[in-house]
Structure 1
Amino acid sequence: MAVQSSFWPFLVSLVLFSLMSNLALWFHLKLSFTMVLFPGLLLVTTSFLWWKDLNRESMIGYHTHKLEVSLRVAMLLFILSEVFFFVSFFWAFYDASLSPTIDVGMMWPPKGIVTLSVYSVPLLNTIILLTSGITVTWAHHSIMNNYFNKSVFSLGITVVLGVYFLFMQWVEYNEAQFSIADGVYGSTFFMATGFHGMHVMVGTIFLFYVLLNLVDCKLLYNHHFSFEAAAWYWHFVDVVWLILFISIYWWGSL
């Protein structure tokens, strides 16, 4: 039986457009943060319902081999689009840091900017994400070998590490002695790390949803694409953070 057309992709696109538009207006102080928070929560809700529909179709048996291949290609293309999204932030950062203008004192970091210690929260967050990459791989290995308890335990640890990373990111932002309004350094720092944090939040929610399916025995060693998609996304988030750590936190503070 064929999969019927879904309105979720179109709806998620509209919500995402609304979120990015409101975010841009909030940066220019033309909207309250509530107008950013609402579409953000709506994006999480619609994405969750979309994943739920996909999972239901898969369990019923609607997903043929051809459709599964299409889903894998779609996920890879989505991650590729995210790569170029972050390339824009790294491009802006290196353009400003490799040839600092007179506006920032012809130096990098700009004059007056007190950078964060690379060996404090940034290093801890690096360890957290690298560890989460190991635990999500452990979970995949456990699923492939039908180790139910180990897969639940390791995936649960991954979710906890994701939440802990977000908490430490919030602590770091509160400790920072500069803001997003402090010139090109502040804007590139908070845009790059902030959007990465948003991706960690989405990835954590995605992994938590997969964990619920795993506990409900909806994932099998030969039937777990939702987990693979979440794991690919999580490894992508890990790689982006490593580049952020090396570029902005370490090299950018020398």
Structure 2
Amino acid sequence: MQKHSFHLVDPSPWPIFASIGLWGFTTGLVGWFHEYNYAGFLAFLSLISLVYVAIVWWRDVLRESVFQGHHTKSVQKGIMYGMILFIVSEIMLFFGFFWAFGHSSLAPTIDIAGVWPPRGIEVLDPFGIPFLNTLILLTSGASVTWAHYAILIGNNKQTQYALIVTVLLAAIFTGFQGFEYVTAGFTISDSVYGSCFYMLTGLHGAHVIVGTIFLMVCLMRSQLGQMRPDHHLGFELAAMYWHFVDVVWLILFVIVYYWGS
């Protein structure tokens, strides 16, 4: 008989399938960049397999939590620590690109004529779409907090309303980001400014899309009655991730859009 509160996970095929999918996606993507035959097809097929693995793996975790009751307080604490470490690793990733942007702007090399922004780069107005997106993302952070409060008081309808508002705001943010890309006067290949700008904003945009999917899953679970005041770790993780996205955008707005321009 088990004498501890931890969950011994059953054998699962999804980790190895996820590894194979990631290998195929990265290999296919690099091959596609170099115009190898069938590399694009390999990347697309691997991406589809990764999406499928993510869905079924997430499904299994929810089954263990909701229906089998394996997620005790000890298990939830471990998952929370894992999410915190994941966010710390993401902070380090963004820090590297912020460092590259800051170094290039504070000490512009002769390759870009020693000026910043580099000549020929028509920088974006920080108080246009970027400032509007800042307000949108901050509002979405407030609506996530509203959803959390609604869960704690057991108001499932308010939880759903707040999550719908958050998802809509996230979609609007992503739409404006795409419009900014289309109308920008420079590309990722336009000096170090373009490379750092699109890497930072694109990486953040990818995190927004992942966070939006995370919150949509929470919305569906709320509609199924799986968000309880005493057991809603999935939402707490989504809220942590979303607030991380908010903070990164604030730093990005100040450093890249305002100060860097």
Mapping 1:167-182, distance limit 5 Å: 167-182=175-190
2:61 is matched with which residue? 54
CA contact (8 A) 1:3 1:62 kept: no
Mapping 1:141-152, distance limit 5 Å: 141-152=149-160
CA-to-aligned-CA distance 1:128-171 (integer Å, 9 cap, x gap) = 11011000010000000001111100011111111111111110
Matched, 1:194 2:202: yes
Matched, 1:4 2:18: no
Q: Partners in 2 of 1:28 and 1:85 — Cα distance?
A: 25
Mapping 1:58-77, distance limit 5 Å: 58-59=65-66, 60-77=68-85
Cα root mean square deviation, aligned: 2.1
Instruction: Give the C-alpha shift of residue 120 in structure 1.
Output: 1.1
1:106 is matched with which residue? 114
Q: Partners in 1 of 2:84 and 2:19 — Cα distance?
A: 18
Structure 2: runs of 5 or more not aligned: 1-6
CA contact (8 A) 1:3 1:63 kept: no
Q: Partners in 1 of 2:105 and 2:154 — Cα distance?
A: 50
Secondary structure, aligned partner of 1:112: coil
Q: Partners in 1 of 2:216 and 2:100 — Cα distance?
A: 33
2:126 is matched with which residue? 118
Q: Amino acid of the residue matched to residue 127 of structure 1? A: L
Q: Partners in 2 of 1:25 and 1:119 — Cα distance?
A: 39
Q: Partners in 2 of 1:14 and 1:180 — Cα distance?
A: 29
* CA shift in 2, pair 1:165/1:139, >3 Å: same
Q: Amino acid of the residue matched to residue 252 of structure 2? A: L
1:237 is matched with which residue? 245
Matched, 1:227 2:235: yes
Instruction: Give the C-alpha shift of residue 61 in structure 1.
Output: 0.7
CA contact (8 A) 2:31 2:40 kept: no
Matched, 1:127 2:131: no
CA-to-aligned-CA distance 1:8-59 (integer Å, 9 cap, x gap) = 3444344345445555555666687666555445434322322221111001
1:43 is matched with which residue? 50
CA contact (8 A) 2:170 2:208 kept: yes
CA contact (8 A) 1:152 1:214 kept: yes
Q: Partners in 1 of 2:208 and 2:175 — Cα distance?
A: 11
Structure 1: runs of 5 or more not aligned: none
For these two proteins, the number of residue pairs brought into alignment is 253
Q: Partners in 2 of 1:7 and 1:112 — Cα distance?
A: 52
CA contact (8 A) 1:72 1:229 kept: yes
Compute the TM-score of the two structures, normalised by the length of structure 2.
0.89
CA contact (8 A) 2:174 2:205 kept: yes
CA contact (8 A) 2:28 2:41 kept: no
